[in-house]
Structure 1
Amino acid sequence: MTRVLGVEGTAWCASAAVFDADSDDVRIESDAYAPDSGGIHPREAAEHMRSAIPDVIEAALETVRERYGDPATELDAVAFSRGPGLGPCLRIVGTAARALSGRLGVPLVGVNHMVAHLEIGRHRSGFDSPVCLNASGANAHVLGYRGGRYRVLGETMDTGVGNAIDKFTRHVGWTHPGGPKVEEHARDGEYVELPYVVKGMDFSFAGITSAAKQAVDDGMPVEDVCRGLEETLFAMLTEVSERALSLTGAGELVLGGGVGQNDRLRGMLATMCEERGAEFYAPEPRFLRDNAGMIAVLGAKMYEAGDTVAVENSRVRPEFRPDEVPVTWGAGEPVAEPVADAERLQGAEAVVELDPPESVAKRRLPKSYRHEELDRRLWRRRTRTEARLTSEARRLGVPTPVVRDVDPPAGRLALEYAGGADLRDALTEPRVRAVGRHLARCHEAGFVIDFGLGYYTDDVEDYAMDLHVFEGALGGTADDAAALLNAFEDAYAAMGDDRRVIEQLREIEERGRYQ
């Protein structure tokens, strides 16, 4: 028998919950902060947390008394959110959890809030080793398990998806939370084009928010802008989730985070998974929004694995990244297993049909989860761009295949067959050094890759993001990523004397944008 009381309070919702592992029963008590106007004010959120946390904890303790008996004998541990989140709120929660642990005489368990979003979906679905899309206020990332940790396969390049939506809704005068209001207005709107920014496994929301604000200021109906905002943001998240499934060979996807309560996002992800033969699970809404139930469930797994924390070592961590957490409990098989050889391979965006020894046909598929107008625009633009940049790279001495034919309206490319080896399955230091040299040549010519999503630029930030995307892919697929990363960066830097790109890469890594 394992029973754990969980405490959550990373930002705006004070919550406590009791999880009984034998019955799989989760009882949650929550009190969410609702600002009178605008978004979340950190000081007011902390004041709310200070007043609400004692009450929700007492309500959870009363649940224990009514259902099981004395909390001092019927609870095995107290689990709490160590981060990421707002520092003042986290400190209040941490203090309360430490006091309760000492009062009951039970161990303390420190839980990563974002890993808890993943694990509640894995727990409720029964999946073994899913890829997880976390879509919440201050966060947006895709995770996959490998090498004893959940690796970040893709992430936002600027702000969380919920924050992007809230910035727009504050601009039009709506109060927090803005997501449900956008969803309601989008039902009556017509799609309008907004910037669509996906870079490999990463994505950017800042430009979309700015464009949406400007569209409203220019007199466009707010319902239409809301529809465009949903269609664009959620298509980006779905595309990157599909790319993660393709990269890793995984067949399971779970959704986490408060933005996951949106029907349109869940529908897009379900459609994508159905079309590629993957399984999809979205927890019920009480487990998607911030809640202590997921903290208690993961806390129980950690407690059973002996993963507790001494009070003196239990400081909160406002910038606690999910890939910093050693997975001490059972997390299934690692993702990124090799995909079997085949004559027809399906990626995230296209089907590749092999006809060795001469040619390869790459055909971008219509994505029924995306709005038809958006989908058509993307596959035409990406097909043209891929043909142009692949040929340009070859002229620079990068060993890309010859482009033999291109048909943008059909989303089709005919390419030279270059062999059946997959870099993911043959990662060695010499090979990643070659990748570093080839990437440097592309940057010297003023463009970034991958070729279908590439573009011409002279911005050091764009070049650094190219490196960041490749290094993220290495981290999610390689067993010994550190040595490969060093080899890759050394080879890239050796191609020129400009250190600005590597310096910018370090800045990107230190931003802590996955909070």
Structure 2
Amino acid sequence: MRVVGIEGTAWCASAAVFDSERDAVSIESEAYEPESGGIHPREAAEHMREAIPRVVAAALETAEGPIDAVAFARGPGIGPCLRIVGSAARALAQSLDVPLVGVNHMVAHLEIGRHRSGFESPVCLNASGANAHVLGYHNGRYRVLGETMDTGVGNALDKFTRHVGWSHPGGPKVEEHAERGDYVEFPYVVKGMDFSFSGIMSAAKDAYDDGTPVADVCCGLQETVFAMLTEVAERALSLTGRDELVLGGGVGQNARLREMLAAMCEQRGAEFYAPEARFLRDNAGMIAVLGAKMYGAGDTLDVAASAVDPDFRPDEVPVTWRDDAEDVLLAGAGAPTDVRGAEAVVDVGAETVTKTRRPKAYRHDALDARLRRERTTHEARLLSEARRAGVPTPVVFDVDVPGSTLELERVGEADLRDALSERRVAAVAEHLAALHDAGFVHGDPTTRNARVTRSGTRDERAGRHDPRAARHAQQRDADGPEASRGERAGADATREPRDGGRVYLIDFGLGYYTDDAEDYAMDLHVFEGAIRGTADDPEPLLAAAEAAYREAGDPGVLEQLREIEGRGRYQ
């Protein structure tokens, strides 16, 4: 089988021929390089108009036999560029009298890594100009496990380099200067498996304007941004229980990012793969390879239904070329006595757990020490605050800040991920409403950070088999008449789910105090994203969670959640 691929979503006009029998890809590309600033859509479209015919003709000359299908990047991307690519693909398919295949550009970035790595069902980190997200295949689609809440990672770096006066692309220039710079501290924003770059870019611009050497700014910028991406990739591995990670996207050409991801995977016993540079940057080879898979599955387009989509999200693509045996959630989550989470190792005893945030080899030493100290302190404080707000959480028995270690009560029999029900997700939503009413957020309410009990007496489910937990519970019960506003608000959250057992919230390391409805809505966004990424039929669960939050919390937070969901990711 031979498939032509055509790419032109933003800056690179590219065509390729993939020969599936030889597993060989030939790529012809012409890049658009603006004289100043970033990508100008009109100039980029003019480049596509001139370059696409040349690269297609050059690619066809490499074909060693007839063409079976024509695949093209249908989106996401810059609208005028996409329309030129779509027109070229339709014309070529009609002239060759072969089927037309419409490919999602972001899924192609990830599928080329899976194809060349040989991994069965990896978690996929995409780090490109206009996008940044973590994906996993589940139940017939790529699920977005985490993503940027404002701008793509490449565009974020470009915003800083334009401020400095450097030309596009800015990423390689940041990498070059960072090698001779010293680390400086910048904001670090990870919310569950989502992340934000706007604050760090503003801080980097301010630091440069205040006289911080540009090499130092680049070093701090690179260390912080790439540590955020590496952390969310590890969180996705932890959520899904997988041990394979592939990297996609043009920013993946950065050696420091690849080094961080490789170090993280080695530390947790996972495998990591990054394709060679020609498959990381925008290229038609990945379009042709995925196009061949889709063509083989019969996933082709009529010309009348082949309109491009500048906002084409990867989770909108029906994955016709894979089967359920490759589901990202079919892996186990690890032995129950030694659980490796995203940022800590938990030793599980009969009645207690010891949680240790060990140093991360991929992070800069100063950043690593800061995060482990802050998160250990925040978790201990907020676990206690949550209990006072009426939310079931483990009792904190001991805190060792220098050692980044907590000794906690053991709670629950299973992660919510493995025991999803409408009542249980509703209980989590009620818990979140109680936290928000008390003035703080959980920060990472995924389905791995809620524990459920399924059987036993009420006292057993409450963890009162441990004398220290019993004393704490007795004191809490005695404090009832003097309950705080947060405790009264959380009273409903402590009731038992009708399907049995209690639902606990754990792992408050990303939590913080806030009175901003945006932060409360982000808590819900993270929770709902985890449900979508782990449930076979998420819609009833999402409806139950929102109904429970609407009843127990501020309905205005749900309105803010809708606003967050409506923000464009492909700007």
Q: TM-score range by the shorter chain?
A: over 0.9
> 1:420 offset after TM fit, Å?
2.9
1:63 counterpart SS class: coil
In 2: Cα distance, 1:79 partner to 1:15 partner? 12
* Cα distance between partner residues in 2 of 1:241 and 1:232: 14
Cα displacement (A) at 1:408: 1.5
5 Å-filtered alignment, 1:51-62, equals 51-62=50-61
2:85 corresponds to which of 93, 106, 116 = 93
- Tell me the number of residue pairs that the alignment of Structure 1 and Structure 2 aligns: 505
1:343 corresponds in structure 2 to 337
Query: 2:527 aligned with 1:470, yes or no?
Result: yes
The residue identity in structure 1 corresponding to 2:360 is K
3-state DSSP of counterpart to 2:35: coil
Structure 1 stretch 253-262 or stretch 331-340: which is displaced more? Answer: 331-340
For 1:484, the equivalent position in structure 2 comes to 541
Question: Which amino acid is the alignment partner of residue 347 of structure 2?
Answer: E
Which of residues 232, 236, 240 is equivalent to 1:244?
Answer: 236
Could you tell me how far 1:213 is from its partner in structure 2?
Answer: 0.6
Matching residue within 349, 357, 370 for 2:363: 370
Q: Is the 8 A contact 1:141 1:514 kept in 2?
A: no
Q: Please give the residue correspondences for 1:276-355 in structure 2 after superposition, counting only pairs within 5 Å.
A: 276-330=268-322, 333-337=326-330, 338-355=332-349
User: Among residues 79, 86, 98, which one is paired with 1:106 in the alignment?
Assistant: 98
1:509 aligned onto 2:508: no
Tell me the alpha carbon deviations over residues 206-249 of structure 1, each in whole angstroms, 9 at most, x when there is no partner: 11111011101000000000000110000000000011001101
> 1:413 maps to which residue?
406
Give, in angstroms, the shift of residue 405 of structure 1. Answer: 1.2
The 5 A counterparts of 1:150-189 are 150-189=142-181
TM-score, with length taken from structure 2: 0.87
Corresponding position of 2:464: none
Using structure 1 for the length normalisation, give the TM-score.
0.97
Q: In the alignment, what sits opposite 1:216?
A: 208
Unaligned runs of 5+ in 1: 69-73
For residues 248 and 266 of structure 1, the distance between their equivalents in structure 2, rounded to whole angstroms, comes to: 21
SS in 2 for 1:410: coil
Q: CA deviation at 1:419?
A: 3.0
What's the C-alpha RMSD, in Å, of the aligned pairs? 1.0
Is this contact kept in 1: 2:74–2:307, CA < 8 A? yes
**DSSP 3-state at the match of 1:30:** strand
Decide whether the 8 Å contact of 2:2 with 2:67 is kept in 1. Answer: yes
The letter for the 1-side match of 2:521 is A
What SS class does the counterpart of residue 214 from structure 1 fall into?
Answer: helix
- Give the corresponding residue for 1:493: 550
Larger-Rg structure: 2
Conservation of the 8 A alpha-carbon contact between 1:11 and 1:85: yes
Q: Is contact 1:10–1:90 with CA below 8 Å preserved after alignment? A: yes
2:470 alignment partner in structure 1? none
Counterpart position of 2:424: 431
Deviates most, 28-37 or 401-410: 401-410
Q: CA deviation at 1:410?
A: 1.0
> C-alpha distance in 1, partners of 2:230/2:98?
42
How far apart in 2 are the matches of 1:128 and 1:240?
21
1:117 alignment counterpart:
109
> What are the Cα deviations for residues 24-53 of structure 1, in whole angstroms up to 9, with x where unaligned?
110000001000011111111111111111
Deviation at 1:453, TM superposition (A): 0.5
8 Å CA contact 1:15, 1:31 repeated in 2: yes
**Residues in 1 aligned to 2:334 and 2:341: alpha-carbon distance in whole angstroms:** 13
| Runs of 5+ unmatched residues, structure 2 | 445-507
- Cα distance in 1 for residues equivalent to 2:517 and 2:77: 30
Q: Which moved more, 1:167-176 or 1:458-467?
A: 458-467
1:341 shift after superposition: 4.2
* SS of the residue 1:353 aligns to: strand
Give the AA of the match of 2:37: G
Q: Percent identical across equivalent pairs? A: 74
The amino acid that maps onto 1:115 is V
